[in-house]
A and B are shown apart, each in its own frame.
Chain A
Amino acid sequence: MGNCRLRTSPGSDLTESLAERVRAGGPLRLEGGGTRAFYGRPFEGELLSLAGHRGVVDYDPSELVITARAGTPVSEIETLLAGETQMLAFEPPVFGPAGTLGGAVATGLSGPRRPFVGPLRDYVLGARIMNPQGEVLRFGGTVFKNVAGFDAFRLMAGSLGCFGPILDISLRVTPRPRAELALVFEMAGEAARTWVTGLMGRPLPLSGAFHDGHRLHLRLSGGGAGVAATRAELGGEEEPLETWDAFRHMTHPVFEAPVLWRVSLPPTGPAEGFEATAWDWAGGQRWLTADTVDPGVWARAAQLGGHATLYRGQAGNGEVFQPLAPGAFNLHRRVKAALDPAGIFNPGRMYEGL
């Protein structure tokens, strides 16, 4: 076809050597660029590096799909997409130039657009993973509508590598908005949350709502006229769009503290005990800082219908993620065992005994 523009980038396919190593047995510690090693429990395992397994395999802008190997740096993918005025709508946080696509998918973390466009998981169309026998399994594909088989590819998002090395991923990409701007408002956290909640009930071109503890930052993305009209209605001061990079990649000073908790709460529900924190996602994702780890945060988050993750700092019991109820934990163990019966992939990274 005339305008069918396939883009690829140089890389290398390490499937064979990865398979050889996997067949030799575990436990294995899966790693891409190593920038997300902080995310999860400490555990034992021999390094299985996917950093060299890289390159964009297929990118056709008119299909809105990109397929890349796990070790491809996120920045390389975003540069390629930007050249076609496209982007990763879920804008994953990246913790350094070495950060890889595989790491982004395995941790499943989504950026500031999450409440407006959905999480990273919604953009994964397919994945190839390696099973403990070193065989390659392909789940999903490169098309948006696909209901054949269980959607095991969506399960990979946020799986922390527990089901085996993700070899490559097909992602849905989206056009860049034609107009985008950032606004800042002097407004206290709870008042800002109430106001933003009201705005989200209307079809406005919002693409970010972050509170830094003092001020509310809003981002607008969409068509020129709609963004201009909303900007005129909302008021506030314009600020550089780059401000949002610091929220996305967590380089803003609000994230600086010896202990950092991510607390995910129902965005419009009560936030007792967490009102004073900085928040993203229109109040749905709160960042609690402290000098020491208070394990009571898990129980308080659960009481409010949410959950907490210890991003920085060490809990006495070594846990990082919200404890699961016994029924849910048993199901997790069975699902893990379904794909990794001997428990060789990242054992204990998410939970002890998983």
Chain B
Amino acid sequence: MLDQFDARLDADFPPVDSARLIAALKPLLPAEGLKTTVEALRPYETDGLAAYRSLPAVVALPESVEQVQAILRVCSALGVPVVARGAGTGLSGGALPYPGCVLLSLAKFSRILEVDAQARTARVQPGVRNLAISEAVAHLGLFYAPDPSSQIACSIGGNVAENAGGVHCLKYGLTVHNLLKLEIVTLEGEVLHLGSDAYDAPGFDLMALMTGSEGLLGVVTEITVKLTPLPETTQVLLAAFDDVAVAAQAVAEIIAEGVIPAGLEMMDGPALRAAEDFALAGYPKDAAAILLCELDGAGPDVAEEIARVSALLSSSGATEVRQARDEDERRRFWAGRKGAFPAVGRIAPDYYCMDGTIPRRALPQVLTEITRLSEVHGLAVANVFHAGDGNLHPLILYDAAKDGDQDAAEALGGAILELCVSVGGTITGEHGVGREKINQMCVQFSSAEIDAFHALKAAFDPKGLLNPGKAIPTLARCAEFGGMHIHHGELPFAHLPRF
């Protein structure tokens, strides 16, 4: 895990003399905008996936689009890789520096440039924190809907790069559904505008392609987001189950009933017990699973839906259904869920968070199989599940200090992701591929599909300098890693030599 990149399997760039690089960048930035000493680089060696570390050659902190353009032109001319970074909260190693790269931090792009209350839009710089947008427009009765659990810290630029989700995305959509316009700078230093202040733009939908592209296509320097009116009423139900499969079935019945909850979350026994001990949320600790179902909208409609969903949960086998009595209890119900990751962090020295998405109907089968895999690999797993949209976060508990545990955790994680693909799902629902899941991409996609991704990448970045070794594996990597995997019933990469 510590040996992060492999020149043979990822990308190979001729080394550039760092004195030459620094000399070229120095005139472009104020002194404090360029970090070159090892001590100053250290904070940038990792992101939210802290097990992966490597040092950039320099860290550049531009303050203007012109500076971003100039830096990228230098990198293009010298052939130096560039890794853009927002708040560094990503969980897949997307902002992990490529050794010897220029780490381009957008931290100084931290201004909300304009709020248009009438149009319900905000024009912001990429370093603005997700939650800061909602806070800035709350007095207008508006909010920015996507709410990844790191929303206090994560930046909107990082959200665009990852197409971040959140607990409310079943109803309010992902990042891509809440964007109007992006300003990007290409590796050649060209500024382009994708999307529009109107409801659509001419030509191909390149804004949608750019969203979630993990920093491989360009650097986002400005974002226009859509704002949503705050709902009139919000209510939450907590339902307990003595069987995870019964809970999964209840989720299907809520959806089939024609209800789109604002949030629909499931936790299994180990996850809910850890969360309860951590947050004192009031969860029933003897349950095998709990569901949190949040409904919002007009007051009388919410009351009617609460009644319908309560009845449905009871009739589908819930052992207990509780409605939060007030805002305080509602917040506590959510505090338990939102604190589930750190809570699990207290019951094991380390945990490894997976991020597959599966069709909801496969949930009982997938949970059973995860239990089996957990026994095979000798590591416990706690499951937290965005049940409404099928996004599963198994948390693998391990001890990095224990010999072999780290490798076992990665092997179990890989097996879980492959399980998600085999039931028709995906290896990542919202955390991104980054560096972490680069090998599993070979399981989900064929060589022709990966070729197409590389061709799209080259259309934006012909030199391949933007965030190399991330998100899209080389075919050489897939040939080496993917030898044992069968994709769509065929041996993948059959035409490639095996190393």
User: Is the CB–CB distance between B448 and A150 below 8 Å?
Assistant: no
B431 within 8 A of A: yes
Known: A1-B361, A201-B120, A334-B459. A138 touches B449 (CB 8 A): yes
Determine if A285 and B199 form an interchain contact, defined as CB atoms under 8 angstroms apart: yes
CB neighbours of B425 from chain A (8 A):
141, 143
**What residues of chain B lie closer than 8 Å to A3, measured between beta carbons?**
249, 252-253, 256
Write out the residue numbers on chain B whose beta carbons fall within 8 Å of the beta carbon of A202.
Answer: 141, 229
Min CB–CB distance B429 → chain A (angstroms): 4
Q: Is A241 an interface residue (CB 8 A)?
A: no
Known A-B contacts A62-B255, A119-B200, A265-B198; the reply to A148 vs B437 at CB < 8 A is yes
Residue numbers in B under 8 Å from A1 (CB-CB): 249, 252, 361, 364
Q: In the complex, what residues of B have CB within 8 A of residue A197's CB?
A: 118-119
Do B203 and A332 have beta carbons less than 8 Å apart? Answer: yes
Residues of A within 8 A of B231 (CB): 203
What residues on A are CB-neighbors of B444 within 8 Å? 148-149
Interface pair B212/A147, CB less than 8 Å apart: yes
Q: Is the CB of A143 within 8 A of B300?
A: no
Residues in B whose Cβ lies below 8 Å from that of A264: 196, 198-200
Closest A-chain residue to B459, C-beta based? A334
Interface size on B, residues (CB 8 A): 96
Return the contact of A154 from the options B209, B229, B357 (Cβ within 8 A): B209
Interface residues of B (CB under 8 A from A): 116-120, 140-142, 162-163, 165, 169-170, 173-174, 176-177, 190-193, 196-206, 208-209, 211-213, 216-217, 229-232, 249, 252-253, 255-256, 258-260, 297-301, 303-305, 357-361, 364, 386, 389-391, 424-433, 437, 441, 444-446, 448-449, 452-453, 455-460, 471-472
Q: Specify the chain A residue showing the minimal Cβ separation from B231.
A: A203
| Pairs A–B under 8 Å by Cβ, sample size 25 | A3-B256, A62-B361, A64-B255, A121-B205, A137-B448, A143-B390, A147-B163, A152-B453, A154-B208, A158-B204, A174-B260, A178-B258, A197-B119, A201-B140, A201-B142, A203-B232, A222-B298, A225-B303, A226-B301, A266-B196, A307-B200, A328-B203, A332-B206, A336-B204, A338-B456
Q: In the complex, what residue of chain A is closest to B417 when comparing beta carbons?
A: A148
B296 to chain A minimum Cβ distance, whole angstroms, is 8
Q: In whole angstroms, how far apart are the Cα atoms of A121 and B191 in the complex?
A: 25
Assess whether A266 is in contact with B198, with CB atoms less than 8 Å apart. Answer: yes
Partner of A149, one of B193, B203, B301, B433: B433
Size of the chain A interface, CB-CB below 8 angstroms: 88
Residues of A within 8 A of B427 (CB): 148
- 6 closest Cβ pairs, A-B complex: A223-B301, A225-B300, A226-B298, A175-B258, A145-B429, A338-B455
A159 within 8 Å of B (CB atoms): yes
Interfacial chain A residues near B433, Cβ < 8 Å: 147-149
Using Cβ atoms and an 8 Å threshold, which residues of chain A touch B472?
149-150
Closest residue of B by beta carbon distance from A266 = B197
The answer to whether B456 touches A339 (Cβ under 8 A) is yes
Q: Which residues of B contact A284 (CB under 8 A)?
A: 198-199
Which residues of the partner chain B approach A348 to less than 8 Å between Cβ atoms? none
Within 8 A of B (CB), among A255-287: 264-269, 281, 284-285
CA distance A264 to B428 in the complex (A): 35
Is A151 within 8 A of B229, CB to CB?
no
**CA–CA, A121 to B173, complex, Å?**
12
Q: Contact check: which of A114, A230, A350 meets B203 at CB < 8 Å?
A: A350
In the complex, A155 has a CB within 8 A of chain B: yes
In-complex Cβ contact of A119 among B199, B212, B300, B460 (8 A): B199
A248 CB, min distance to chain B CBs, angstroms: 15
A315 at the interface (CB under 8 A from B): no
A127 to chain B minimum Cβ distance, whole angstroms, is: 12
Assess the A146–B459 pair: CB atoms within 8 A.
no
CA of A202 to CA of B203 in the docked complex: distance in angstroms?
32
Query: Within the assembled complex, what's the spacing in Å between the Cα atoms of A306 and B197?
Result: 7
**Residues of the B chain whose Cβ atoms lie less than 8 Å from the Cβ of A201:** 117-118, 120, 140-142, 229
Contact (Cβ within 8 A) B448 A135 = yes
Contact partner, B456, options A115, A133, A152, A268, Cβ 8 Å: A152
Chain A positions within 8 Å of B301 at CB level: 222-226
Q: Select which of A108, A159, A176, A327 is within 8 A of B192 by beta carbon.
A: A327
* B198 near A63: Cβ-Cβ < 8 Å: no
Docked-complex contact B230 and A203, CB < 8 angstroms = yes
Determine whether the beta carbon of B209 is less than 8 Å from that of A324: no
Residues of chain A contacted by B211 (CB below 8 angstroms): 151
The reply to whether B258 and A151 contact each other, CB–CB distance below 8 Å, is no
Chain B residues within an 8 Å CB radius of A306: 196-198
CA distance A201 to B137 in the complex (A): 12
Interface centre among B117, B170, B212, B457 (most CB of A within 10 A): B212
In the assembly, what is the distance between CA of A63 and CA of B170, in Å?
Answer: 12
Bound together, the chains give a CA A268 to CA B118 distance in angstroms of: 7
Asked if A145 and B190 sit within 8 Å, CB to CB, the answer is no
In chain A, residues 148-167, which have Cβ atoms closer than 8 Å to a Cβ of chain B? 148-152, 154-155, 157-159, 162
Indicate if the CB atoms of B165 and A143 lie closer than 8 Å. Answer: no
Contacts A151-B212, A201-B141, A321-B203; A145 near B174 (Cβ below 8 A)? yes
Give Cα A151–Cα B169 distance, bound, in whole angstroms: 17
- From A1, A119, A149, A205, name the one whose CB has the most chain B CB atoms within 10 angstroms: A149
Tell which of B120, B389, B452, B460 touches A339, judged by Cβ atoms closer than 8 Å.
B452
A241 to B341, CA, bound (A): 48
Which residues of chain B are within 8 angstroms of A143 by Cβ–Cβ distance? 357-359, 389-391, 424-426, 429
Across the interface, do A142 and B204 meet the contact criterion of CB distance under 8 Å?
no
B431 touches A147 (CB 8 A): yes
- Chain A residues, CB < 8 A from B459: 331, 334-335, 337-338
Expressed in whole angstroms, the minimum distance between the Cβ of A198 and any Cβ of chain B is 8
Complex: how many Å from CA A155 to CA B457?
14
A305 on the B face (CB < 8 A): yes
List chain B residues, Cβ under 8 A from A2.
Answer: 249
| A118 CA / B173 CA spacing, docked (Å) | 9
B354 to chain A, nearest CB (A): 13
The reply to whether A226 and B300 contact each other, CB–CB distance below 8 Å, is yes
Docked Cα-Cα span, A148 to B118, in Å, equals: 35
A223 touches B297 (CB 8 A): yes
- Say yes or no for A8: interface residue by CB 8 A criterion: no
Within 8 Å by CB of B165, from A121, A145, A155, A266, lies A145
Tell me the minimal C-beta distance from B414 to chain A in angstroms. Answer: 14
A92-130 contacts to B (CB < 8 Å): 108, 114-115, 118-119, 121-122
C-alpha spacing A127/B192, complex, angstroms? 27
CB distance from B389 to the nearest CB of A (A): 5
Cβ-defined contact, B253 with A281, below 8 A? no
Asked whether A60 is an interface residue with its Cβ less than 8 Å from the other chain, the reply is yes
A290 within 8 A of B: no
Complex CA–CA separation, A197 to B121 (angstroms): 13
Q: Is the CB of B116 within 8 A of A268?
A: yes
B198/A146 in contact, CB under 8 A? no
